[in-house]
Amino acid sequence: MSVEEAVDRLASKGFVRVVGHADADGVASAACICSALTETGIGYRFTALDDPSEVASTDGDVFCDLGAQYLNGIDDGVVIDHHPPHGSFDGVVVGTDAPSSSIAAHRVASRLSSGDPVSALVGAMGDDVPLSEVSDVVDEALAAGVERDEGVRLVGNDAAEALTYSTRPFTRLSGSPDEARRFAESVGDDELPTAVVLLALTNEGTRAETAADLVGDVYRMPSGVGLHELSRYVETCAVSGKPGLGFSTCLDPASCIDEARSVWRAFESTLIETVRGARIEEGSPSFAYVDGSLDTGAVADVLLDRVTGDIVVVGDGEASFRAEGFDCERVAREAALTVGGAGGGHASRAGASFDVGDEEFAQAVRKAL
């Protein structure tokens, strides 16, 4: 299906119900579309879903970062989703060839109005898309006033705060504000990039690729808010049950950034505690069992850096997969189906929901493998 068909459907409506996945890519995708709707004079309502499989029971005209894997449950509408499609329906599907749903949404929004390259990049960063793959959108953002520099891609007001709440990389300073402050004060601004990379590599076993990604191009809006920072704030708001705040932060960062930063601090603090308390069974893949309702995808991202090989994180009826040795999307889907749940995602990262015990689901994963 074409972008033009999606644009025609949206332009013909007076009001649009926009449904997005509750993560950075889903929320940023919705922000791209809703910003364009506003410029065009079309009203909208935004809602977010934690579980993409619930899309079948949700009324929507546009589905952002969800829907492609559950097409049989949707009657009509526009699906903007970079996940592999399953099933068929009478509407329009765009984005399955895009690196992120937000980039696909930006393509649609740019045809409908002027587009929002910042939200497009926020979503792409949330899905770990290298910005070199979306250089055209980067160029649009630079033309719109975003500034590019070189530095450390940490999130926070200053180095001490960034190291205190850092989970990627996860270091001995994570969750230790006093130690983080002493470390930051012991190195100068010029030495900070090298110091942080060495800290990541030597203290917690962070993968070399993750440590290398800490230093490079950084992008800041005229207000001074960094795009990597903004993406992390939107992600943590979305998975903390506040997708509306993440959505508003995309559309108007200046007015929401302080509240979003507070949510980020609380989320990262809980994530640090959860990672330190995870029960890990090493193997191929390794399994990690966590307590509480924290997003297992966030835990999986951290543990992928700290555990050698592939990882499956299981806890509270959810599971997240990060792997290169097997097809995560297939295994998540097949394992979930055997226990009456639902799963999907990408070959290297996927998720599942289930209503059985953690150990029973882990057995289903082993059988699927």
In terms of domains, do 178 and 211 share one?
yes
pLDDT score at 1: 57
Residues 314 and 240: their CA atoms lie apart, in Å, by 18
Amino acid code (one letter) for 199: L
Q: Structurally, how many domains does the chain consist of?
A: 3
Of 98, 121, 143, which one is at a domain's C-terminal end? Answer: 143
pLDDT score at 21: 97
In terms of domains, do 70 and 189 share one?
no
In terms of domains, do 81 and 42 share one?
yes
**Is residue 203 very low, low, confident or very high in pLDDT (cuts 50, 70, 90)?**
low
**Any idea what the CATH number is for the domain that residue 362 is in?**
3.10.310.40
Q: Which residue has the tokens 């068909």?
A: 5
In terms of domains, do 138 and 24 share one?
yes
pLDDT score at 200: 85
Asked whether 335 and 321 are in contact (CB, 8 A), the reply is no
Asked if the model's pLDDT at residue 316 lies above 60, the reply is: yes
Summarize the confidence of residues 272-291 as an average pLDDT.
94
Asked whether 312 and 320 are in contact (CB, 8 A), the reply is yes
The mean predicted confidence, pLDDT, of the chain is 93
In terms of domains, do 290 and 264 share one?
no
Residues 246 and 255: their CA atoms lie apart, in Å, by 12
Strands (E), the chain: 15-21, 43-49, 62-64, 78-80, 92-94, 147-152, 215-220, 279-281, 286-289, 311-315, 318-322, 342-345, 349-353
3-state secondary structure 239-267: HCCCHHHHHHHHHCHHHHHHHHHHHHHHH
**Any idea what the CATH number is for the domain that residue 46 is in?**
3.90.1640.30
In terms of domains, do 297 and 252 share one?
no
pLDDT score at 204: 64
In terms of domains, do 176 and 59 share one?
no
Q: Output the six-digit token pair for 276.
A: 């330190």
In terms of domains, do 59 and 102 share one?
yes
Residues 327 and 88: their CA atoms lie apart, in Å, by 22
Summarize the confidence of residues 277-289 as an average pLDDT.
94
In terms of domains, do 22 and 136 share one?
yes
In terms of domains, do 256 and 290 share one?
no
Of 274, 292, 307, which one is at a domain's C-terminal end? Answer: 274
Residues 123-153: tens digit of each pLDDT: 999 999 999 999 999 999 999 999 999 988 9
Summarize the confidence of residues 289-311 as an average pLDDT.
87
In terms of domains, do 265 and 283 share one?
no
In terms of domains, do 7 and 53 share one?
yes
- pTM given for the model: 0.91
Residues 29-44: tens digit of each pLDDT: 999 999 999 999 999 9
Of 127, 143, 159, which one is at a domain's C-terminal end? Answer: 143
Question: What is the domain range of residue 341?
Answer: 278-368
Q: Which residue has the tokens 């299906």?
A: 1
Q: Which residue has the tokens 């070959």?
A: 347
